[in-house]
Every structure is written in C-alpha cells, then in structure tokens.
Amino acid sequence: MVKINQNFARLPQSYLFSDIAHRVDAYAAAHPHQKVIRMGIGDVTLPLPCAVVDALKSASSEMGSKETFHGYGPEQGYPFLREAIVEYYRREMGVVLKPEEILVSDGSKSDVGNIVDLFSPDNTVLIPDPVYPVYRDTNIMSGRKIVYISADSHNAFLPLPDPSVKVDLIYLCSPNNPTGAVYTKDQLAQWVAYAHEQEAILLFDAAYERFISDPALPRSIFQIPGARECAIEFCSLSKTAGFTGMRCGYTVIPMELSFPGPLGEPISLNKMWVRRQTTKFNGVSYVTQRAAQSVFTPEGLEACDKNIHYYRENSQMICSLLAKKKIEFYGGAHSPYIWLRCPGEMSSWDFFDFLLENAAVVGTPGSGFGKNGEGFFRLTAFGSRENTAEAMERLSPLL
Amino acid sequence: MVKINQNFARLPQSYLFSDIAHRVDAYAAAHPHQKVIRMGIGDVTLPLPCAVVDALKSASSEMGSKETFHGYGPEQGYPFLREAIVEYYRREMGVVLKPEEILVSDGSKSDVGNIVDLFSPDNTVLIPDPVYPVYRDTNIMSGRKIVYISADSHNAFLPLPDPSVKVDLIYLCSPNNPTGAVYTKDQLAQWVAYAHEQEAILLFDAAYERFISDPALPRSIFQIPGARECAIEFCSLSKTAGFTGMRCGYTVIPMELSFPGPLGEPISLNKMWVRRQTTKFNGVSYVTQRAAQSVFTPEGLEACDKNIHYYRENSQMICSLLAKKKIEFYGGAHSPYIWLRCPGEMSSWDFFDFLLENAAVVGTPGSGFGKNGEGFFRLTAFGSRENTAEAMERLSPLL
C-alpha cells in the first residue's frame, strides 16, 4: 500500500491569508459602502514597464513564425539572460560571477523550495523567527530538524550567530520579509564566518535587494569575502521589476561549493542543482526570459527604479506617520515592508481587527510569521499612492 | 557539516544527448558541406498558432496597464484555464472532472518530477523499461526502491501487470515515450485493477494524448472505470499545442484519492499537492495561462490539430518506408515517435553511427532509455516535411 509523506501532517495549517480574507469578507458584507484599503499582501500593483511589455510582444511574435520559433530552451536559462545577470552583478554590486553560476528559474519561491532536494534529511536547519514561511515549511516537508533563532526588538530583528549552536543549513533574508530589516556588511560577515566554522551552507534570500538605496548596505551575500565558499543566493524579478505575475527568478551557486559524496569525492552543488533542474524542470518560457532580459537594460532598470521609487515614497509616508505617533517600527527605509509594534500592547490579531473595524485598512498580523511576530504587524508599501495616503489619514487619529 | 543528498551519486550519468551532440559535431566538422537532418530530440518545430500568439500579445498588453495588470495568481492556476480544461475533458473524452481537480503548472516534467514529494521514500516503484528517464531519476534522487517491468517485442512494448509483484507507485506513459506504443482500454483496465489490488497509485503520463486518432483508444486514464480511486494524470500543452518553449501543463488529482496519515485519518492527495505547490511554486505566468486558454477554444484546437496532422503525415512517411523495408517497428500511428529494431542486429549506438556516417541523419539510440532499449532506435516526426522526406530518401537505399 502506498505510504504518503507523513511529514505533511506536521505542517502548521497555514490559514493566515485565508483567515484574513474571511474577516475582510465579513467586514465588507457588513459595510457595503466602505472602501477597504488592502496593505496586507506583498504583491506589486504598478504595471510592467513599456520596455518589458514591448520585449514580451516581440518575443510572442517570434513564437508565431517558423524561422524564429523557440521550443525547449536550456533548463538553466538562455545565455542572453544569464549574461545580462552577470553584468548586472558586476556593474551594480561589483560582484564577479560566471554565467554558469546563474541558474534561471520560474521564481525564487520555487528555488528556495526545491533547493532542499540537494541535502540529506539528516541536517539541522537554522531559521530566524519571524520568517518567510517557505523556509520552515519546506524543511518540515522533508523531515529536517529546525532550530529557530530569535529576531526581536532586542536585536532590531537582525539576529547574529550564536557559535554554540551547531547547524548545517542557515536561512537568511535581507532586506527581510516580513520585518524589512537589512543586515550591514559587518553583520553578514559574522554570518559568513559562522557558516565557515560550521561547514554549513548559507541560503541567502535577496529577493528585495533592489529596495536598498544606501550603497553601504550589501545587496548580495557575494559582496562579503568568503561567501563564495559557503553561500547560495536566491533572487527574483518579482519585486525588482513587478514580475509577480510573470514568474522569473535566479539562483546563484558558486563553483567553489562542493561537499563530500559517498566515497569522499567532492560533489559540486552547482552540478547537483543542474542535475535536479534538468530532471524536474524544463526551463522558463522563452517570452518571459526575453522580458527579463529587457529589465537589465539601462531603460529597463530606469523604468523599474521609477516604480521602486514610487513604492519607496509610499513607505516614507507610512514611516513618517509611525514616527510622528512614536510607534516602534522596523523596515521601510530599504524595504517595501514596515513592521510595527501593535500600539497599546494589542496582540497581532487584535490590532488587525481594530484597524479593520475602525479604518477599513487591512494589514498582516505578525504572529502569522512565527512566535516572535506576536504583538507586531506588517504593512506593505505596494499599494497606490492615493490608497496609501488615504489609509494614513484614516490611521492617524487612531494611533 | 552539511550533508548532501547522497542519492544523487547513484544517478546514472545522463550523457545520452551530450554524447549524441559530440558525435554529430565531430561528423559536421569532418563534412562541412553535408546537411545533417535531426530526428532525435522530441521537440516541436512548427510555430504557435495565430490564435495563441494573439492571446499572448493581448495578455502582454494587459500587463502594461495598471487597470488590467495581474500580479500573483492562484498557484493552482486561474479558474478560466482550469474550467477550459474541465470542458476539454468532458467534450473530447467524456470524462467529468471538477475544476479543483485540475492543477495547472509550468509543464508536466515539473509535476512528474515533483509529485514524489507527496510519498514516503519507503515505497516500491514500478517503472517500465525502456522509459522516459524522469520517472527513474526522480525516484533514485529520493531513495526509493525501483522495480522494472520489461517492455519488449514480446509484449509489443506494452507490458501488463504481474500480480505477484508488490508495488506502491506505478508509472505508465501512453502513448509511450520512447516507443510510441498505446495501451487499449482493456489493457489499462488491467492496470487499474492491479493498482486497486496493490492499493497503489498509478501515475499516468498522458503528454501525447492528442496524437491518438482512433476513438477506441483511451486518451485519459479517467476513461477507465475505477481510475478515479487510484490514478493521477499528467498532461501537457507541449506536444498538444507546441508549448515546449512556453511551459504549461496540468495534473489531474481526483478528490477520491486519500491515504492514511499518522493517526490513520484520511489525507487527500489533492490537498497535499496544493500544499506542496502553494509552498514551493508560485503559479504559471498570467500571459502563458491566457495563451493556454486560447488553445482550448474551437479555433485554437483546430489550429493545433492542423499541426498534429502535419507531424502525423511525417510519421506515416517514416512508417511506410520501414514497412516497405520489412523493419520491425512500433508507434508512429498514434504518436510522434517511431521505435524501430536496428537492422542487421546492430546495437543502438552502431546504428546511430551507421545512419550518421551514411545518411547524415540523427536519431536517438534506444539503449539510452533503458536496458530493453538496446538494439532499438527512436525517430521523431517533429521535423519539417522537406527534411523528413529527404531523410527517408537517404535511408531507403541503406535499409
């Protein structure tokens, strides 16, 4: 008789966003004339830049003609895109990568989730709390032991390694989802040193790198010396270029990363990932890769930055109200997320209900991201300018 | 210290297509003026139908406007596409499905590969030999015991179950890759009965269903009574609609499928898959889903069928030469693949070299698909009419 993967039964039932939806639906039904402003979900709202739409349409035309049709592409991504990303790292971050170290995919969520295939279930995983739930859930699914490290107001939601804790895989996200906190180079250097001591792999989620405007802050783990020998980086066009509905990301696996195989021989993680992807994946749509390529042109990046600037101005509006009201908060400066302490010692869900009932504004209860999220609340800057301004006007008298 | 998944070291080094490429490159370098005709790889060559390109462009325009922009979509696919597929099954195959039983993805290779996440490593897997290598490799990666069942000329490459063999997961592909053989309803009914006896799951790969032209032959496992209680079906737009470079497929998981969890409670495989996909996947590109929707319109299907008819005529050309030369072959009638016994008791690779040297025609050595493929050879009908005709002219005097 077939035996299912019993680890699935150990997964926390993830009702966060459906719970939110139910409460919002109930509110809307009771208040049909009230406009609800949604600042909960981390999805972009501005359309794709013209240059990207043009690239999409032009590639679509290519697919309609026998001479320019593209069938199966390389699972790791077309060279034109891998080279554009190499050039992006070099120009923007001073990081030198090889094209074969860039592995293109349909989004960093897929890669963050699937990377666990490369590792034995017999590894201990370190995950910050609160956290993007994918790190935790994918490791529960594959039956690994998880150790949590507390991100809280004592460390400004930027926990640093504890050398007494023994781990094999380390997840970090900076700028962080959900807290918006950003590690400095010095802090990341401590994590890299720790990963080396532990002979661990650092899985670095850089999906929000383009929201960093301070050149002193690291946007890539590979800006830290020694990272090539211990880190994998996940990146995405979702927030950089509004690709949440397009699906394109990339993972960087340096050639230096290798670990002993059954006979003690070194096995390259990059080669293992290529084997994984050529077996369980068939590459990203040609038209999407052409659209992604257009993002990395000067016009493409300029248009994307204009959108990021728009969201950043929304952030500033939210942050300045919170500062004025003397509410403790994190993020916002280099992140589309603002993570605030619920006023009056309210719980996350109490504050959710309070905002919904009194301002018809929807956010995300911090407790949905882990134990340490209790008493905190996440707002996103991805809404329209008008809605963000209106939400702040509604909130102001309540805080 | 991090421990890698040692099962990767047990994977056969898959040099098939790179070996082919090396030999073809060497031949081309030595014969620069000879046109090489490639009938090896199972990739389509006809462009996307106009209706599909129009849908792609129209959706691309939507992505460029704030009012019609689409961000994150449902991981399981947009309702418009799931409903179009339900209607396709109903109208074309008389199979009644619910929209929530259709799980849209970026291709059936991904789903066939990722489905193993739902099952314990402690299952025995039955796989025909020769076989599409993904079934074997994904189970080696996750450390399952594999039992092979021989597909060979004694069973016309359509093996039937042996009730004495105890298994938990069963892979079947019909029309088959690489042999082109197609199961009848009676034969599939034997597999469904066997899956019930074993309390096993039948993983049915229907990627080539649209090449079946005989209405008596089953195109879906769900045309077989009892299949809803034991089968999962994988399907793809790659061969149906030339989507190899577009990436869209779907998996059908009936609501009836459930197996005991840790406390003996029934756990739905459909719900497990949704949990897997919402955790490790972020849905298919909106523009791709609109393109896929257009495939299932009357104009879309008519255009796709015109392309399939074109490939089918190529098949007939290949089959009629083989029949004339009295060479044993399988497939071709309801499949883009023709699987032939190498003449003169040549090995698969000897025949490969023979065709390359004497006709500059490239095929795929059958031994690349498993032990029982030795002595056989795969040709595909996905080339152009002109090239297929020219290849047959070159082959005719050699066979």
Mean pLDDT computed over B58-75: 97
Say if B16 is an interface residue toward chain A (CB within 8 Å).
Answer: no
**pLDDT (tens digit, 9 = 90+) per residue, A331-355?**
999 999 999 999 999 999 999 999 9
**B259: phi > 0 → left, psi -120 to 50 → alpha, else beta; which?**
beta
- Distance between CA atoms of residues A196 and A199, nearest Å: 5
- Distance between CA atoms of residues A368 and A14, nearest Å: 9
Residue B41 pLDDT exceeds 90: no
Closest-approach residue (CA) in chain A for B132:
A279
Measured in degrees and rounded to the nearest 5, phi and psi for residue A187 equal: -65, -45
- The one-letter amino acid code at B114 reads N
Identify any residues that bridge with A377 across adjacent strands, giving them in sequence order.
A340, A365
What the block records as the tokens of A202 is 């650092």
With CA atoms as reference, report the closest residue to B107 among B288, B228, B364. Answer: B288
Does the beta-carbon distance from B56 to A141 stay under 8 Å? no
Mean pLDDT computed over B51-59: 98
Residue B302 pLDDT exceeds 80: yes
Say if A286 is an interface residue toward chain B (CB within 8 Å).
Answer: yes
With CA atoms as reference, report the closest residue to B288 among B248, B348, B239, B229. Answer: B248
pLDDT band at B13 (very low <50, low <70, confident <90, very high): confident
Residue B268 pLDDT exceeds 80: yes
pLDDT band at A13 (very low <50, low <70, confident <90, very high): confident
- Distance between CA atoms of residues B77 and A109, nearest Å: 16
Say if B346 is an interface residue toward chain A (CB within 8 Å).
Answer: no
What is the per-residue pLDDT for A41?
83
- DSSP string for residues in B254-279: -TT-EEE-TTS-EEEHHHHHHHHHHH
Say if A15 is an interface residue toward chain B (CB within 8 Å).
Answer: no
Residue B12 pLDDT exceeds 90: no
With CA atoms as reference, report the closest residue to B257 among B98, B46, B47, B130. Answer: B98
Say if A69 is an interface residue toward chain B (CB within 8 Å).
Answer: yes
Measured in degrees and rounded to the nearest 5, phi and psi for residue B98 equal: -95, 150
Interface test with A, best of B279, B290, B386 (most A CBs within 10 A): B279
Say if A362 is an interface residue toward chain B (CB within 8 Å).
Answer: no
Say if B229 is an interface residue toward chain A (CB within 8 Å).
Answer: no
Average pLDDT, chain B: 97
Are the C-beta atoms of B285 and A283 separated by less than 8 Å?
no
**Which chain A residues are within 8 Å of B50, Cβ to Cβ?**
64
pLDDT band at A17 (very low <50, low <70, confident <90, very high): confident
CB pairs under 8 A between A and B: 263
What is the per-residue pLDDT for A225?
98
Decide: helix, strand or coil at residue A182: coil
Interface test with B, best of A279, A289, A380 (most B CBs within 10 A): A279
pLDDT band at A106 (very low <50, low <70, confident <90, very high): very high
Average pLDDT, chain A: 97
Does the beta-carbon distance from A64 to B43 stay under 8 Å? no
Are the C-beta atoms of A7 and A347 separated by less than 8 Å?
no
E runs forming strands in chain A: 37-38, 102-105, 124-129, 145-150, 169-173, 201-205, 231-236, 249-252, 258-260, 266-268, 329-331, 337-341, 361-362, 364-365, 376-380
**Which chain B residues are within 8 Å of A1, Cβ to Cβ?**
168, 198-200, 259
What the block records as the tokens of B253 is 């998981």
pLDDT band at A42 (very low <50, low <70, confident <90, very high): confident
Instruction: Write the secondary structure of B168-206 as one string of H (helix), E (strand) and C (coil).
Output: CEEEEECCCCCCCCCCCHHHHHHHHHHHHHHCCEEEEEC
Residue A14 pLDDT exceeds 80: no
- Distance between CA atoms of residues A138 and B91, nearest Å: 38
- Distance between CA atoms of residues B158 and B165, nearest Å: 17
What is the per-residue pLDDT for A54?
98
Say if B169 is an interface residue toward chain A (CB within 8 Å).
Answer: yes
Are the C-beta atoms of B95 and B227 separated by less than 8 Å?
no
Say if B70 is an interface residue toward chain A (CB within 8 Å).
Answer: yes
Are the C-beta atoms of B380 and B42 separated by less than 8 Å?
yes
Q: A-contacting residues of B 287-326, CB under 8 Å?
A: 287-288
- To which residue do tokens 């577009």 refer? B246
- Distance between CA atoms of residues B57 and B143, nearest Å: 44
**pLDDT (tens digit, 9 = 90+) per residue, A247-303?**
999 999 999 999 999 999 999 999 999 999 999 999 999 999 999 999 999 999 999
What the block records as the tokens of A284 is 């990203």
pLDDT band at A327 (very low <50, low <70, confident <90, very high): very high
Could you tell me the CA-to-CA distances from B321 to B317, B337, B359, B389 in Å, in that order? 7, 15, 15, 10
Say if B18 is an interface residue toward chain A (CB within 8 Å).
Answer: no
Identify any residues that bridge with A338 across adjacent strands, giving them in sequence order.
A331, A379
Identify any residues that bridge with B118 across adjacent strands, giving them in sequence order.
none
- Distance between CA atoms of residues B289 and B104, nearest Å: 9
Does the beta-carbon distance from A286 to B141 stay under 8 Å? no
Decide: helix, strand or coil at residue B252: strand
- Range of weakest confidence among A10-24, A254-268, B48-62, B179-193: A10-24
Does the beta-carbon distance from B69 to A47 stay under 8 Å? yes
E runs forming strands in chain B: 37-38, 102-105, 124-129, 145-150, 169-173, 201-205, 231-236, 249-252, 258-260, 266-268, 329-331, 337-341, 361-362, 364-365, 376-380
Residue B19 pLDDT exceeds 90: no
